[in-house]
């Protein structure tokens, strides 16, 4: 944004303020200079913006741009004549050309910097020739300069905010296009993966233990396909962006409002039902066991054969335990352990604990560990991540009237601090069948 470019409204305000200087305080001439850049450097270029009086087609373009240092110099000498066009200087009564320097020297000049919130934006230069400026007149002129400065600051703030919003929208559009391209390109390899999985499953004998691994691959690919379909469906319902004459983007409000934090996750108004946790956890353990075997981690399932049912949403619970198991395996070194246990029940809540012998979570990070994109000390390590898994898990647990408890260190191993996450969920009795927004 060029800082000397302004709106018609600001121009009108400036003209009215200069008129007030003339008719109210007897100023013979006035000029508002705007800074090209928001800086008080001596080399800052000042552009004439509004002058008073203005006759016919004569205007501010007749004034040359100046540097900040020059106008301060002009305030001390007759050099102010060089800042004004001929038709203005002619209005200052002069008897002879030889007396010009003397007459201008008699002109009482005032120069006010246009400053608001420590931001320098230009100058107000005004003068009269018949009398000294009295203290109360100086104060009134200063108030006019302050009014112009505040109006200019508001206009600049609007321009900066508008540009920032446009940049953010452009970046959002770029990211949206990239994501659309990624989703489109994922479909072909996903289709191939599912096809190969089905063919492989047909060739495996029923007695082959690898059959469960192939079934797990197919289940994960089906989940992947469902996520892609949900993404595309919800993308169609997102508010569309319209641009009018390169103005700020306008949202079409007729579209359904979508909770961005819950995008691709179970809705906050999802129906809750009794859920058998083993139905969710056992398929996840097939994949987790394969990952643990590859990383030389001992995965131990201490859950009893029969687990009381909880009230919740199947998709949300799958997301929670998938994230917690993934984190436990990710932050546990080779030779470590990951345990799955049933916690002690409390207040009609059932607890499932995911424990590991990993690096642990420093106490300083624990208060923020469920914030989106917060990774704490792990952000400086070699293990990659987005800082979303725990935030998503906690959000989903809270929507089901549950919570996730963090314990670190957990004393599961003498060699490593370890971390325990306990997922507390409402048991089968005592809660409504639908959660609130």
Taking a C-beta distance cutoff of 8 angstroms, is the pair 155, 10 a contact? yes
Residues counted in the chain: 437
Hey, how many other C-beta atoms are within 10 angstroms of the C-beta on 196? Answer: 14
Angle CA 338–343–347, to nearest 5: 150
- Per-residue CA distances from 145 to 17, 112, 240 (Å): 8, 6, 43
Which residue is listed with tokens 């009086």? Answer: 53
Specify the long-range contacts of residues 48-55, CB closer than 8 Å, at least 24 apart.
49/4, 49/6, 49/11, 49/14, 49/122, 50/11, 50/14, 50/15, 50/18, 51/18, 51/84, 51/85, 51/88, 52/15, 52/18, 52/19, 52/21, 52/22, 52/27, 53/22, 53/29, 53/88, 53/91, 55/87
Q: How many Å separate Cα 258 from the centre of its chain?
A: 17
pLDDT of the chain, 437 residues: tens digit per residue: 445 567 889 999 999 999 999 999 999 889 898 987 765 555 678 888 888 886 544 444 455 566 655 555 554 443 344 444 444 444 444 433 344 333 433 447 888 989 998 888 888 989 887 788 888 999 999 999 999 999 999 999 988 888 888 888 888 888 877 777 777 777 777 777 778 888 888 888 888 878 888 888 888 888 888 877 777 777 666 655 555 455 545 444 444 444 544 555 655 556 788 999 998 998 889 888 888 988 999 999 999 988 889 999 988 998 899 899 989 999 999 999 999 999 877 778 999 999 999 989 999 999 999 998 888 888 787 787 778 889 889 999 999 999 999 999 998 888 889 999 999 999 885 444 444 43
- 325: exposed, middle or buried (Cβ count in 10 Å: 0-12, 13-18, 19+): buried
What are the structure tokens assigned to 255, written together?
Answer: 């579209």
Contact between 419 and 360 under an 8 Å Cβ cutoff? The reply is yes
Cis peptide before 53 (omega within 30 of 0): yes
Contact 280, 314 (CB under 8 A): yes
Q: Rounded CA gap, 393 and 396, in Å? A: 5
- Whole-Å CA distances, 58 to 17, 53, 85, 106, 402: 19, 10, 9, 26, 74
CA of 4: how far to CAs of 9, 118, 159, 177, 339, in Å?
Answer: 14, 18, 12, 35, 66
d(CA 48, CA 54): 13
In the block, tokens 């004459």 appear at: 245
pTM of the predicted structure, to 2 decimals? 0.55
- Kindly list the distances between the CA atom of residue 174 and the CA atoms of 18, 179, 298, 320, in Å, as whole numbers in the listed order: 46, 9, 43, 30
C-alpha dist (Å) from residue 39 to 42, 69, 70, 150:
9, 12, 15, 16
Query: Token digits for 150?
Result: 């505040």
Sequential DSSP letters for 23-44: HHH--SEEEEEEESSS---TT-
- Domains of the chain with bracketed CATH: 8-163 (3.30.450.40), 264-437 (3.30.565.10)
């Amino acid at each position: 944004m060029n800082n000397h470019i302004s709106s018609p409204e600001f121009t009108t305000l400036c003209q009215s303020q200069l008129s007030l200087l003339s008719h109210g305080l007897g100023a013979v001439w006035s000029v508002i200079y705007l800074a090209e850049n928001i800086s008080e450097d001596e080399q800052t270029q000042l552009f004439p913006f509004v002058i008073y009086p203005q006759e016919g087609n004569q205007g501010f373009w007749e004034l040359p741009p100046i540097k900040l240092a020059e106008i301060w110099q002009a305030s001390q000498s007759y050099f102010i004549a060089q800042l004004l066009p001929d038709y203005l200087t002619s209005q200052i009564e002069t008897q002879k050309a030889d007396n010009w320097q003397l007459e201008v020297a008699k002109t009482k000049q005032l120069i006010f910097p246009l400053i608001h919130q420590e931001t320098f934006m230009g100058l107000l230069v005004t003068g009269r020739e018949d009398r000294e400026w009295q203290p109360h007149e100086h104060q009134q002129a200063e108030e006019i300069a302050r009014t112009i400065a505040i109006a200019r600051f508001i206009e600049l703030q609007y321009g900066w905010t508008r540009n920032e919003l446009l940049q953010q929208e452009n970046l959002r559009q770029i990211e949206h296009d990239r994501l659309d391209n990624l989703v489109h390109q994922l479909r072909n390899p996903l289709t191939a993966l599912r096809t190969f999985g089905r063919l492989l499953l047909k060739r495996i004998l029923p007695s082959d233990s690898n059959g469960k691994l192939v079934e797990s691959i197919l289940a994960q690919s089906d989940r992947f396909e469902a996520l892609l379909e949900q993404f595309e469906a919800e993308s169609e319902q997102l508010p569309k962006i319209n641009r009018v004459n390169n103005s700020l983007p306008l949202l079409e409000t007729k579209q359904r409002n979508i909770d961005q934090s819950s995008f691709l996750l179970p809705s906050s108004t999802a129906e809750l039902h009794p859920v058998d946790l083993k139905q969710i956890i056992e398929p996840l353990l097939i994949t987790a066991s394969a990952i643990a075997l590859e990383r030389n981690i001992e995965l131990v399932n201490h859950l009893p054969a029969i687990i009381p049912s909880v009230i919740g949403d199947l998709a949300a619970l799958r997301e929670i335990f998938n994230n917690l198991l993934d984190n436990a395996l990710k932050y546990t070194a080779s030779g470590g352990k990951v345990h799955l246990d049933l916690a002690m029940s409390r207040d009609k809540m059932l607890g499932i604990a995911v424990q590991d012998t990993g690096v642990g979570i420093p106490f300083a990070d624990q208060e923020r560990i469920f914030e989106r994109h917060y990774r704490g000390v792990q952000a400086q390590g070699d293990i990659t991540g987005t800082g979303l898994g725990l935030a998503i898990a906690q959000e989903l647990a809270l929507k089901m009237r549950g919570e996730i408890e963090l314990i670190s260190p957990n004393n599961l191993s003498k060699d490593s601090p370890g971390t325990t996450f306990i997922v507390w969920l409402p048991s089968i009795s005592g809660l409504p069948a639908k959660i609130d927004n």
